[in-house]
């Protein structure tokens, strides 16, 4: 796996950098360095004060003894990472992942997600331990000490105190309500989601300005911010490339460096777009540095660390509000509910396995942007149509586990195109940050089925059967969807799982 993506980064990228001297140029989300002539900026190092004043471009990560070689690139020794939303699906997985790599991890959560899921009468189908037990098990089983605080990040005083105390060098911000249907239930839910997400992020940005301006912010957005442009134009990585051009009325302008259009698909996605602008502005006004991560839909249940002990498992939701599509299909297959696709099932989206998402986050943490730099990455490893995914899950469930699986097309509760072009650019993580996906869709679906089919988990899925099918419509109606069609997929063994493979998709309709 590529380790040298960050070897030539310099002190400009390091959170230990402290710039000295007068800096008064402001530019739009661009790195401060672009506007400096060589030798104009001088810096000190918080970790190595003995260096005195020096030119920050003069030392690379490879040359600095504070940066040591690790599996995902040069790693800042004992780097302090604060995870907001550490009790969540991704937050808990990342805490253990980073802890195992030797990062110092702290986290905040107010257990919102546990309450939102309970509000619908649901639960994580993979049982999760209370936080105290999680922390104890992390120490006992993996030798990882995590510093945890329970509070709402909207409580800006508490957030500031914790940032002051922990002095993070990177902040991963997962602490938002991540559900599109939840934000579409009614006015109260829409307002709640937007307030929680947008104001939480805004408060964090002000706290970073005052207390941790050198830390990089890895802010979770979503591919859903872009929507699905029906013209088929490419979905760039948040910012137009230098050679993009706008032609109109016989004239031509460069679009290079401008934010690309956003077309969110729910009030939840609107909150993420609002965050995008708030983060972008903060980089511009205060030289904060951020990766805005347009993350695809995550699937999976497996990393080495969460699988190390039942108390270390991360949550896995399959209800209509909080379950993500592949995870839901697997649960439906296990309890004999036909896999539910909306409309024609031609919706095309970017996806990423849980373990690969952790690798991406590690690489982003290890390659901080420069002061003032707002950058965007499209974090996916593959693009699939929803009906292809249902067919893949159905085949693996049938071939490997002997499950009888049907697929059913329901009327679409959402307002979205269900057949559309989708040309997404996702180059920065693999080409600039060394990301190499390690998990195939088929392998991870197999792993999920293997876990979910265990009788104790299967019965937890059975117990929430009534909240799996969608009822929340974008129109505001709360009612089950009509079934348009049901069909079975002809078995075809899948390559790589001890199978023969081959053959065209041939659903028996």
Ligand X SMILES: NC(=O)c1ccc[n+]([C@@H]2O[C@H](COP(=O)([O-])OP(=O)(O)OC[C@H]3O[C@@H](n4cnc5c(N)ncnc54)[C@H](O)[C@@H]3O)[C@@H](O)[C@H]2O)c1
Site of interaction with ligand X (CB under 6 A): 85, 87-91, 108-113, 152-154, 174-178, 196, 200, 220, 222, 295, 297-298, 324
Report d(CA 84, CA 175) in Å as an integer. 5
Based on CB atoms, which residue is closest to ligand X, 45 or 439? Answer: 439
Provide the terminal-to-terminal Cα distance of the chain, rounded to the nearest Å.
43
- For residue 228, give the H/E element and its range: none
Residue of 226, 268, 422, 426 with catalytic role = 268
Residue 61 vs 174, nearer CB to ligand X: 174
DSSP sequence for 371-405? TT-EEEEEE-SEEEEHHHHHHHHHHHHHHHH----
Q: Which of 9, 219, 272, 428 is catalytic?
A: 272
Q: Which is nearer to ligand X, 146 or 298 (CB)?
A: 298
Catalytic residue among 10, 93, 201, 222: 222
Q: What is the CA radius of gyration of the chain?
A: 23
What does the alpha-carbon distance between residue 358 and residue 365 come to, in Å, rounded to a whole number? Answer: 11
Query: How far is Cα 44 from Cα 52, in angstroms, rounded to an integer?
Result: 6
DSSP 8-state code for residue 465:
G
What does the alpha-carbon distance between residue 320 and residue 331 come to, in Å, rounded to a whole number? 12
Residue 325's nearest CA partner among 355, 345, 303, 307 is 345
Report the Cα 339 to chain-centroid distance in Å. 24
CA pair distance 490, 398, nearest whole angstrom: 9
Q: Which residue, 132 or 243, is less far from ligand X as judged by CB?
A: 132
Least distance to ligand X, CB of residue 95, Å? 11
Residue 33 or 328: which CB sits closer to ligand X? 328
Q: Is 268 a catalytic residue?
A: yes
Tokens of 83: 């995870």
What's the closest the beta carbon of residue 204 comes to ligand X, in angstroms? Answer: 10
Name the residue with the smallest CB distance to ligand X. 88
Considering the complex, state which of residue 66 and residue 109 has its C-beta at the smaller distance from ligand X: 109
Q: Nearest approach, Cβ of 57 to ligand X (angstroms)?
A: 34
Least distance from ligand X to the Cβ atom of residue 196, Å: 5
| Length of the chain (residues) | 509
According to the 3-state scheme, what is the secondary structure of 247-276?
EECCEEEECCCCECCCCCCCHHHHHHHHHH
Asked whether 190 and 241 are in contact (CB, 8 A), the reply is: no
Burial class of 83 by CB neighbour count within 10 A (0 to 12, 13 to 18, 19+): buried
Q: Which is nearer to ligand X, 35 or 151 (CB)?
A: 151
Place of tokens 């003032």: 372
Report how far apart, in Å, the C-alpha atoms of 274 and of each of 83, 188, 202, 220, 238 are: 21, 18, 10, 12, 14
- Structure-block tokens of residue 388: 């292809």
Which residue's CB is nearer to ligand X, number 176 or number 370?
A: 176
* Closest distance to ligand X from the beta carbon of 369 (Å): 19
**Interior/surface letters 140-178, b for 16+ CB within 10 angstroms, e for the rest:** eebebebbbbeebbbebebbbebbeebebbbbbbbbbbb
- Residue 12 vs 192, nearer CB to ligand X: 192
**Smallest distance, Å, CB 383 to ligand X?**
15
Residue 163 beta carbon to ligand X: minimum distance, rounded to whole angstroms: 14
Q: Kindly state the smallest distance separating residue 235's Cβ from ligand X, in Å.
A: 15
Q: Tell me the HSE value of 248 on the side-chain side, using a 13 A CA sphere.
A: 4
Catalytic: 299? no
Q: How far is the CB of 223 from ligand X (least distance, A)?
A: 7
- Please list, in sequence order, all residues whose beta carbon lies within 8 angstroms of the beta carbon of residue 251, skipping any fewer than 6 positions away: none
List, by residue number, the catalytic residues: 222, 268, 272
């Amino acid at each position: 796996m590529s380790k040298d993506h960050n070897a030539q980064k310099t002190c400009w990228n390091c959170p230990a950098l402290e710039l000295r001297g007068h800096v008064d140029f402001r530019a739009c989300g661009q790195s401060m360095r672009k506007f400096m002539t060589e030798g104009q900026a001088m810096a000190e190092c918080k970790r190595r004060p003995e260096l005195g004043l020096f030119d920050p471009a003069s030392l690379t990560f490879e040359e600095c003894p504070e940066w040591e070689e690790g599996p995902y690139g040069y790693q800042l020794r004992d780097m302090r990472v604060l995870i907001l939303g550490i009790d969540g699906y991704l937050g808990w997985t990342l805490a253990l992942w980073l802890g195992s790599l030797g990062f110092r991890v702290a986290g905040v959560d107010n257990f919102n997600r546990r309450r939102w899921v309970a509000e619908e009468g649901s639960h994580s189908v993979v049982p999760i331990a209370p936080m105290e037990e999680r922390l104890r098990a992390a120490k006992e089983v993996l030798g990882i000490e995590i510093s945890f605080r329970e509070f709402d990040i909207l409580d800006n005083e508490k957030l500031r105190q914790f940032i002051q105390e922990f002095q993070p060098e990177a902040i991963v911000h997962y602490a938002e309500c991540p559900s599109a249907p939840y934000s579409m239930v009614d006015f109260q839910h829409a307002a709640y989601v937007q307030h929680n997400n947008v104001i939480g992020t805004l408060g964090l940005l002000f706290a970073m300005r005052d207390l941790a301006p050198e830390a990089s912010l890895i802010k979770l957005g979503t591919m859903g911010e872009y929507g699905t442009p029906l013209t088929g134009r490419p979905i760039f990585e948040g910012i137009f490339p230098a050679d993009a051009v706008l032609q109109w009325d016989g004239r031509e302008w460069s679009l290079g460096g401008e934010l690309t259009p956003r077309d969110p698909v729910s009030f939840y996605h609107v909150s993420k777009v609002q965050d995008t602008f708030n983060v972008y502005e903060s980089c511009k006004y205060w030289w904060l540095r951020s990766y805005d991560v347009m993350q695809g839909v995550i699937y999976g249940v497996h990393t080495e660390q969460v699988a190390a002990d039942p108390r270390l498992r991360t949550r896995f939701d399959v209800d209509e509000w909080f379950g993500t599509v592949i995870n839901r299909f697997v649960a439906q297959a296990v309890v004999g509910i036909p896999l539910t696709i909306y409309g024609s099932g031609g919706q095309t989206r970017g996806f990423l396995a849980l373990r690969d998402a952790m690798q991406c986050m590690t690489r982003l943490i290890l390659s901080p942007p420069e002061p003032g730099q707002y950058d965007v990455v499209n974090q996916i490893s593959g693009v699939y149509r929803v009906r292809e995914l249902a067919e893949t899950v159905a085949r693996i469930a049938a071939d490997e586990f002997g499950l009888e699986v049907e697929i059913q097309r329901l009327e679409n509760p959402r307002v979205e195109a269900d057949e559309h072009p989708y040309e997404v650019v996702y180059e920065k993580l693999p080409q600039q940050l060394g990301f190499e996906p390690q998990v195939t869709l088929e392998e991870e679906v197999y792993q999920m089925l293997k876990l979910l089919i265990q009788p104790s988990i299967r019965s937890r899925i059975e117990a929430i059967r009534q909240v799996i099918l969608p009822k929340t419509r974008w129109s505001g109606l709360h009612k089950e969807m009509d079934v348009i069609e049901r069909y079975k997929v002809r078995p075809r063994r899948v390559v790589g799982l001890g199978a023969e493979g081959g053959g065209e998709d041939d659903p028996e309709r």
